Amino acid sequence: MTPLIVLEGLDGAGTTTQARALCDRLERAGRRAHLTREPSDGPIGRLIREMLVGGHAIPGATIDQATFSLLFAADRMDHLQREVEPALAAGTIVVSDRWYHSSLAYQGTGAARAWIRDLNQRARRPDLTLLLRVRPEVAAERRVAAGRAQELFEDLAMQRKVAAGYDEVVADLRAAGERIEVLDGELPLDEVARAIDAAIAPLL
């Protein structure tokens, strides 16, 4: 079966860089690989991206987290139907920069997380998820160095909560039988890449 491989982590953990590099290595090795991301490039994903940088703001109020949870779940199902499942059916390895783990870590705690799990029940489980773990302070330094404008979920206090959320999500999903590997995302890029290659080798 052609695998779906997901890279997860804080904003600034290196998921985008490593997902792109992984696809390049797979292609050079003679395997077909498709790089994708969430929010997706579909219509719902584009709306979410606009909202994350302050578009469609509600005057005098913030957009409710439940709204984002619903939009991300809808985008994920559209993403699956529009892009991911057709690529997998064609025998192409799909590497996604984020999946439902981000929704659970960023938007869910307690009862809210259980609700988000329900929203994503029909989302395909990745064959392997790689969490690139970095400290929130390191991730923030990387975002500043890259000159990125701060998005809705990127202030340091929020990222500390998200980091703790990822630890809880990984523990819960592993207990449910999902395959998740935690890698040190603070290592040099080439060392992280080697760790990724070692983790995905059993799938290939």
Q: Mean of the pLDDT values across residues 76-85?
A: 98
CATH number of the domain encompassing residue 133: 3.40.50.300
Length in residues, the chain = 204
| 12: Cβ contacts below 8 Å, ≥ 6 apart | 134, 138, 139, 140, 141, 142, 143, 146
Domain span at residue 127 reads: 4-203
Number of structural domains (the chain) is: 1
pLDDT of residue 65: 84
Between strands 93-97 and 4-8, the pairing is parallel
pLDDT of residue 152: 53
Q: Mean of the pLDDT values across residues 104-129?
A: 91
Omega of the bond leading into 43 within 30 degrees of 0 (cis): no
Kindly report, residue by residue over 56-65, the tens digit of the pLDDT: 666 766 778 8
Q: Mean of the pLDDT values across residues 148-164?
A: 76
pLDDT of residue 57: 64
CA distance 129 to 179: 6
Kindly report, residue by residue over 8-50, the tens digit of the pLDDT: 999 999 999 999 999 999 999 999 999 999 999 999 999 999 8
